[in-house]
Structures are given as structure tokens and as C-alpha cells.
Amino acid sequence: MIEPTPEQVLMRDSLVQLLGDGVARTRSAGEAWPRIDRAPWADIAGAGWPGLLVPEASGGWGGTALDMVMLLEGAAATLAPEPLPAVLAIAPLLAACESPAAAALLGQLVSGEAIVLMAESGAFPLSHEAGFVLFDAHWADEVICAEGEGDAFRLVAVPAADLADAPLRRTIDGSGQRVFSLPAGAGLELARGSRAEAAYHRAINRLRLGAAASLMGHVRAALALTIDYLGVRTQFGQPIGSFQALQHRAASLHVAHTAGWALVCEAALSVGGEKEGIACAMAKAKASSTARDVLKDCVQMHGAIGFSDEYALAPLFRRAVTLASAFGTSQVCLGEIGSLPRCA
């Protein structure tokens, strides 16, 4: 098992302290949906977090993918609603575009002036046609979209306001999703050609890796809540955690989390190598299935309180359900592994 370095622990603890009571903000955001409170994001950007993976030459921290997963796994327990995992993955894509338009957008992202997210392309059952889907859509100021392939590949930025005609759907965790189509030639071109396409695929890998790390953080937080509950809930005059059947079940859930987290860390170490795409897809597939199975069992072991909005397990479960479907479900990621491009 890969353990965080002392520097990564300090960074993680600093981020967790900055994010604060994310559960309370998530509940407040649900009541105000689709309006958002940008003040916490200004604090996050002011501390420089969006530039974690941006090269130092481009004004960032020059952090690694392992830094990212250690931070996101630890921060996931806060349930902060801000789209930090996606922004961390997208910032180095803008740095790799090497165009004035991309550099300007990167500056706005790192400073907190604009939140830039990337839409996923493909055919989606609810849209009845090929198009794009954008997660955390109510946060976006600018949306990055990819068109074509090879020399005809084109990476563009579209103002989120231009997508307002596409309905904003509320997801189970209280965030927003928008499915839309992009007219030919729309958007501000950021990059073009096969190099831009390779950078785009690397961004998809980082999005999947960040989502996988966050899912493992949700699993760890849910397990901690469950273990505590098993120690205080009594039946037949003794804590239910003393019953062997529940002990074995809790141990199996711990093993599942440990296996999933190990795969996420290994995928982070693969970033930059030729098996990056395969490793990140495998990590996302494993994290999605693990989160679904473990969170379901944690809710069941709690009984009725596990469904209560007032208890932290319910929002953890809902966030995990949404995140498990973002950037490729388990089935999608496993189906892609044989055909994924290798990132040299």
C-alpha cells in the first residue's frame, strides 16, 4: 500500500481545513439550487489549489497525479460541493494547448475568475442522439468540448451562457447535469490536431483518476461512520458490532476499500506512461463498483438512519452514485480498455 508523504499529508490537511464543513454547504446548495455560493471557491483559488498539476513554467505548482489522488481522497469526506477534482484535471490541459486563447483561459481558471469544466462526448440514452454531457454544469463559466479526430481534431471553449437553451437537470446528489449538442464551428478554438487530441485523452484520464480517488474517499468516510455506528447501536443488550456476522461483513468492506484504493494509487503512478489510459480506466471502473457495493452495505448496516438526510451517510451515498456514472461507468470503462489509446 502506498502511503502519503509528509508533504502530501500537510497539503491534504490544509485543503481539508480550507474546505471546512462541506456537508453543510452541500445542504445549503441543495436548498438554493441552481444558485451557487462562489465565496468558498474564491478561497480555494486564492490558496492556489487549481494550479496543483499545472507546470511551474506555466505558473502552477508542478504537482503529480499521486499528489492529486492523495488530496482528493482525503478531501472527499468533507463532501464539499465545489468542482475541485474536475478543475485540477482540466488545468494542465489548458497549459498543454500552448495557444494564447488557452493561456488566457488558464489564467482565469487559476485565479478563480472563471470555473472551466470539460464536457464528455458520446451517445447518451436520455438525449436520443450523440452530443455532450456536462457534470456540475451549474458551476461552469466556460465549457471545453472536443470535436473530430486526428488532424481534424478541435478543442474549443464555449461560454456556459451559450448553452442555456439545453435544460439543466438536477442530479441525485443536488448537483447539475446538462446534455447538449454543439453547432459546427461553435466556440473559441484552443488547439487543433493530433497533439491536442493526445492532451485531451490525458485530461480524460485525469478526470477518471480524480473521480476514482474521490469515490475511495467517500467509501472510507462511509466505513468510518459505519464502524462508529456498530459500536453505539445496541441490540439484545450489547453493541451490534460484537456480532460476528457484522464483524465479518465490515472486514470484507474494509478489504474492498483497500483493494480499490491500491488500484487508484497504482494508476496515479502510471500517469505519463504508455499504460496511463488503461490504468485510469481500470481505477475508475473498480472505484465505481466498489463505491456502489460498499455504500449500499453501509446504508443497510445502519438501518433506517442510513437513509436520513440529517445523517452524513445519505449525502455520501448520493454523491457516490452520481460520481460513479461521471466520465465513464464501470461498464463503459471496462469496455474501452481494449481500444484506449496509449499515452506515450
Q: What is the pLDDT of residues 256-268, one digit of tens each?
A: 999 999 999 999 9
Lookup result for grid cell 466520465: 327
pTM score: 0.95
Neighbours of 316 (CB within 10 A): 26
Question: What integer pLDDT is reported at residue 129 of this predicted model?
Answer: 59
**Tens digits of per-residue pLDDT, 180-219?**
998 877 899 999 999 999 999 999 999 999 999 999 999 9
Nearest to 269 by CA among 286, 254, 283, 290: 283
Give 320-343 pLDDT, tens digit per residue.
999 999 999 998 999 888 775 555
Q: For residue 280, with 0-12 CB atoms within 10 Å meaning exposed, 13-18 middle and 19 or more buried, which class applies?
A: buried
CB 21 within 8 A of CB 78: yes
What cell does 14 get? 490544509
Alpha-carbon distance 159 to 189, whole Å? 12
Asked if residue 85 lies in contact with residue 227, where contact means CB atoms within 8 angstroms, the answer is no
Identify the pLDDT of residue 137: 96
pLDDT of the residue at 43: 96
What separation in angstroms does the CA of 40 have from each of 18, 81, 244?
9, 10, 44
Task: Give φ, ψ of 146 to 5 degrees.
Answer: -115, 140
Q: Which of 229, 242, 337 is nearest to 280 (CA)?
A: 337
pLDDT at residue number 128: 55
Q: 305 is written with which cell numbers?
A: 438512519
Q: List the chain residues with pLDDT less than 50.
A: 344
